[in-house]
Amino acid sequence: MNRREFLRNSGLLAAGIVFAPKANANLINFDNLPQDASGRRIAEGYVFEDLNGNGVRDGGEVGIAGVCVSNGREVVKTDRNGKWRLPVDENTILFVIKPSGWKTPVSQDNLPRYYYIHKPNGAPDFKHAGVKPTGELPKSVDFPLQKQKEDSRYKMVLFGDPQPRNQKEINYIAHDVVEQVALDAKKVDAKFGLSLGDIMFDNLSLYESLNGVIGTIGLPWYNVQGNHDMNYDSPDDEHSSETFQKYFGPNYYSFNYAKTHFIVLDNVFWPGKGKGNYHGELQAKQLEFVKNDLAFVPKDHLVVICMHIPIVDVKNAEDLYRLIEDRPYAVSFSAHTHVQEHIFLTEKEGWKGAKPHHHLNHVTVCGSWWEGAPDERGIPHATMSDGAPNGYSIIEFDGHKYKVTYRAASRPDFDQMNVWIADQLPAEDADKTEVIVNVYAGSSRSVVNMRVDQGDWTKMTQFTGKDPFYLKLKAEEESPKPPQGLKLPGASDTPHLWKATLPAGLKKGTHRLEVTTTDMFGQTYTDSQIFQIV
């Protein structure tokens, strides 16, 4: 019997790829069948309610029906007794897809533990160690869950690239971002956090130190793999995630919280030579997992897709689009570029959904890789090349709705823009002077207005260009006495700039410029600038 016949006879779709189980059904009769037709062994176990929280299925702890479990390709639901069965090979990570209303165990650093790694021979001998040999497959691989209350309205914390090179930069993360986030997360009652890749800057031996720092926030913390989280001495893409898997488990997976379904993807493809020779691509096995996974997600739930490389830079992004286009509620997040931009996918980008898809290329924790002049604490300002400060976001969910609130590191929560105008203007130039505003998290759906001295409001015009404040920072690096610190990257073009000309008739003296912006989520922020006409 070949694999296709085996799957068809076992109740699977004839394509030989996608499991299509009915809820609470024990679909496949693997009795007396230690291997599937492709030679993969069969793993089995239970998802159970861990009443005493010890991670072991004790007497009286019953299985949980209808919970999804995956091997990274197929997805099945547990039967009425909480049992599941899946094929495995010698390099498989089995994982439970956390259902709504339940929680998985976490490590001492608050990393979710929802998986079992099956690598009988362990990881290859790379510079940065991977998983040690796991030995024979256990008779039963059991996943513990505990009940928790999950309201449909909740918040999470989102990081882009922390990316420290060394322990000193981990200390920057601790003092510039994490200490603020811990207070912010407590204030808003955030439920978990997630980092969008490039957790490290190639030195994977520092994972434990950074995980300890982020763990102090006190939230379960999920992670995406980035290009700087890979084993670059791997001969191929398949083994480039060995160290990441040692610390975090599968490099792609999914989980639920309330009425939100999160899919974490690994979209960095590594061909096995040349450190920078990676590109954005989703491998076939991963796309199969996404298809199988979504088969169990109700259409009225919001699907949140998290990745490292922006979706528009992924070679086969349209393969992913075809899987989510029919869903009325979906959003995606990435990082990687060290700028912040809201992108709305249309037919121009190959998107065929009924309405544009919102993709946020997210601010990074490390900003411009901890470059720029240090402040009084010795921490570089790390302004990104689009003029936005390094930082993070608070994401609020309410059913299928969501709202993103940007937070600049070590700054008050109302610091959302930079207003550019000279401190002093010659009177003859005043009515020709342009005001430029960088709204750090602004998008094409933002509205920006300005006024002077409580006068009439003027709508500002969005444009793409280079932030003048950032250009000033770069110019200072070329001065006779340049500031200390690593040099900033070159200024990038950014679309979150707005401009307008000062109103005519302003008299000599001191004036107050006021700017207000309302974003796509209805959040309004105001800033002001004092200037003089001489």
pLDDT digits (tens, 9 = 90+) for 334-347: 999 999 999 999 99
Determine the pLDDT at residue 35.
63
pLDDT of 386-427, one tens digit each? 999 999 999 999 999 999 999 999 999 999 999 999 999 999
Percent of the chain with pLDDT over 70: 93
Q: Is 0.85 surpassed by the pTM of this model?
A: yes
Q: Is the pLDDT of residue 118 over 50?
A: yes
How does DSSP classify residue 176?
I
| Dist CA 453 CA 121 (whole Å) | 72
* Same fold across 1-149 and 417-533: yes
Q: Which residues, 6+ apart, have CB-to-CB distance to 304 below 8 Å?
A: 260, 261, 262, 263, 330, 331, 332, 333, 402
d(CA 264, CA 197): 10
Instruction: Annotate 295-364 with DSSP letters as a single string.
Output: TTS-TTSEEEEE-SS-GGGBTTHHHHHHHHTT-SSEEEEE-SSSS-EEEEE-GGGT--SSSPEEEEE---
14, pLDDT greater than 70 = no
Task: Specify the pLDDT at position 501.
Answer: 98
More confident residue, 475 or 1: 475
Distance separating alpha carbons of residues 350 and 234, to the nearest angstrom? 33
Q: Is 2.60.40 the CATH classification of the domain at 417-533?
A: yes
pLDDT at 37 over 70: no
Q: Evaluate whether 325 touches 296 at the Cβ level (below 8 Å).
A: no
pLDDT of residue 8: 34
349 pLDDT above the threshold of 60: yes
Instruction: Provide the pLDDT confidence category of residue 274 given band limits of 50, 70 and 90.
Output: confident
Is the per-residue pLDDT at 230 higher than 60? yes
Two tokens, residue 248: 């975090």
Compute the distance between CA of residue 37 and CA of residue 439 in angstroms, rounded to an integer: 57
Which pLDDT score is estimated for 24? Answer: 34
Which CATH code for domain 154-408?
3.60.21.10
Confidence band (pLDDT; 50, 70, 90) for 488? very high
pLDDT-derived band at 44 (thresholds 50, 70, 90) equals very high
| 440 pLDDT tier (thresholds 50, 70, 90) | very high
Question: Rounded to an integer, what distance in angstroms lies between the CA atom of residue 210 and that of residue 369?
Answer: 15
Is residue 30's pLDDT more than 70?
Answer: no
For residue range 519-534, list pLDDT tens digits in order: 999 999 999 999 999 9
Question: Strand pairing of 221-223 and 494-501?
Answer: unpaired
- Arithmetic mean of pLDDT, 36-47: 84
Q: What is the pLDDT of residue 3?
A: 36
Instruction: Determine the average pLDDT of the residues in 127-145.
Output: 96
Confidence band (pLDDT; 50, 70, 90) for 125?
Answer: very high
N-to-C CA span, the chain: 90
Mean pLDDT of 287-302: 98
pLDDT tens profile 198-214: 999 999 999 999 999 99
Sequence-separated (6 or more) residues with CB below 8 Å from residue 183: none
Mean pLDDT over residues 433-446, rounded?
Answer: 98
pLDDT reported for residue 25: 32
Q: Which sequence spans correspond to the domains of the chain? A: 1-149, 154-408, 417-533
Residue 234 confidence (pLDDT) above 80: yes
The model's confidence at residue 276, banded by pLDDT at 50, 70 and 90, is confident
pLDDT of 19 above 60: no
Categorize the per-residue pLDDT at 38 as very low, low, confident or very high, splitting at 50, 70 and 90.
Answer: low
Q: Which residues pair with 127 in a beta bridge?
A: none
Share the mean pLDDT of the chain.
93
How many whole angstroms separate alpha carbon 129 and alpha carbon 289? 27
pLDDT at 17: 27
Please report the DSSP string for 222-275 in residue order: EE---GGGS-TT-SSSTTTTHHHHHHH--SSEEEEETTEEEEE---EE--SSST
Place of tokens 């390709």: 73
Give CA angle at 21 (45, 281), nearest 5°: 90
| Range name among 7-16, 181-190, 205-214, 277-286 with the lowest pLDDT average | 7-16
CB atoms within 10 A of CB 429: 11
Over residues 62-72, mean pLDDT: 98
Q: Report which of 152, 198, 485 is spatially closest to residue 298, judged by C-alpha positions.
A: 152
- Whether 191 shows a pLDDT value over 80: the answer reads yes
The class of domain 1-149 in CATH terms is mainly beta
**Tokens (6 digits) for 239:** 């083994």
Average pLDDT over residues 293-297: 98
Q: In the structure, what pLDDT confidence band is assigned to residue 36 with cuts at 50, 70 and 90?
A: low
User: How many residues would you count in the chain?
Assistant: 534
